Amino acid sequence: MKRTPKDIGWALLSGLLLTLPFLNFSLAPLAWIGLVPLILVVTGRPVREGAMLGFITGAVFGYGGMYWLSRVTIAGYGVLGLYLALYPALWAGWISWMATRRPGWIWWAAPASWTALEYLRTYLFTGFPWNLMGISQARNLSLIQIASVTGVYGVSFLVVLVNTSVASWLLFFQTGRERRGRKILRWLPTLVTVLLILAALGYGRRILKAPQEASPRSEPLAVTLIQGGIIQELKWDPSRAADHFETYLDLTRKSLESAPGLVIWPESSLPYYLEDQPVIQRLLSDLVVEGRTYLLLGGDYRSAATPPRYYNSAYLFSPEGHEWKRYDKIHLVPFGEYTPLKRFFPFLGHVVPWEEDFSAGERSALFKLDKPAGRRSGILKLGVLICFEDIFPGLVREMVRGGAGLLVNITNDAWYGRTIAPFQHAYAAIFRAVENRVYLARSTNTGYSCVISPRGEVVGEVVDDKGEVLFVSDWCTVEISPTPSGSFYTEQGDLFSWICVGLTFLASLGCLIFPDRRIFYC
């Protein structure tokens, strides 16, 4: 069977339907049918044909959903798009193979295998879980509450399950076959899908209606987000370093009127190597002592080793004295902060826009806030996530398991201009808050800076008088009452994902041991 322009058109349509929700999150309903054209066109085809059509869908999804990366690195954009396309290709090829053996299993095996592949993508080659299917539903608060049990992968499973259930109905009518005594099988996918969706929504609504209980170990905390609004083209200009630093100082001084207990500056907001600047050290220490607040800020750290090593770091200044603590980012961005395999392929060093790679920190760290302003007692632990560390469920989960009562993400999305990228990033962070039932505060250089509740609600944001949130130089203070952090997902981890891995394995094994070439769809 040959691929035809019509078949390729269906694959392209699937790619477009999957991409649009990540370009405009109000189009999230399209994700529920985005895979239907691909499933229809690969069913009954040879594995190679199905894989190629899946690759077309994946390429449209990968390149289209991350078009903004081309503004930073063409090489990284090209490689990453091809890499992301491999997952839908593998998935579609697997469906083609299964359809010739046990087509009646596709409706449940396909969402399990898609989820298993998303889980694989989260960790393989350091991992890149950006634009997972479930993230498209970040605004559907009732639905995403199940992430506290299943992680974001449970939402992905439900979205793909609806796709496969719709496709199974269309395939049934397409073949025009109905066997006696098998009507129940035709209705089974729809019945199971409806029950699971209703269960997820019911659970979510119950969570949203329940009152949030403040943690007995912590009191209300006023958190201030500082957003400098400095465009990337000027950010690293040495002649403007003093002006940029003064921008953050001015915004911070203004924010002190709101009596914050914690002030947060974004990633790389400090345009100096702090350890080399005793005057800056003293100035920042005096600022927090005078304001009776903690100050968390991002800056690069240069080690004293020869040759020096560079780290993307976060510093915490305490109002209790003239000292600070540092956390070095442990999960670096490939082709953004380091060049993979440059040791073996030196030419790769010529296709990225920097000279020196960053080094990864050795371990995650929690900062302690002991009696900040506005709090009479108690210690609150901060889990700090730099740049895109907040997209990794496992990394965040370990911080909460370690006692983090508040997550803080400091990042700089100015690289991507006025695109959807800052919102894609923020919506991924929503799931980290829901998964672990913990507040998450995001301070970014140009937006989107916000505070996310343990239920995934945005409870505060940096926004100007015109309603703009990107490239705004401003601040906001949000008072939160930290809740007892942790959930089933925090304790048990990716149990649901491993169940999906197991179902995928069993379905594959079943097709090998009990091949059934009778084509009927249920």
Just list the catalytic residues.
267, 329, 387
* 426: helix, strand or coil: helix
Q: Are strands 221-227 and 474-480 parallel, antiparallel or unpaired?
A: antiparallel
Structure tokens at 450: 């916000």
Structure tokens at 74: 């063409």
Q: Are strands 406-411 and 439-444 parallel, antiparallel or unpaired?
A: parallel
Structure tokens at 516: 């059934």
Q: How far apart are CA 294 and CA 222, in angstroms?
A: 11
Per the CB < 8 A criterion, the answer to whether 464 and 474 are in contact is yes
Per the CB < 8 A criterion, the answer to whether 429 and 441 are in contact is no
Considering only the C-alpha atoms of the chain, give the largest distance between any 2 of them, rounded to a whole number of Å. Answer: 84
Q: At which residue do the structure tokens 């403007």 appear?
A: 240
Q: Which amino acid is residue 30, in one-letter code?
A: L
Q: What is the DSSP letter of 332?
A: P
Q: How far is CA 290 from CA 200, 285, 388, 506, in A?
A: 49, 9, 32, 63
Which residue in 58, 63, 89 sits closest to 77, CA to CA? Answer: 63
φ, ψ at 269 (rounded to 5°):
-75, -25
Alpha helices, DSSP H, located in 353-462: 393-401, 421-436
Which residue in 241, 291, 293, 263 sits closest to 475, CA to CA? Answer: 263
Edge-first strand order for the sheet with 366-370 is: 366-370, 379-386, 406-411, 439-444, 450-452, 458-461
Structure tokens at 499: 């169940």
Q: How far apart are CA 103 and CA 447, in angstroms?
A: 47
Structure tokens at 342: 């440059």
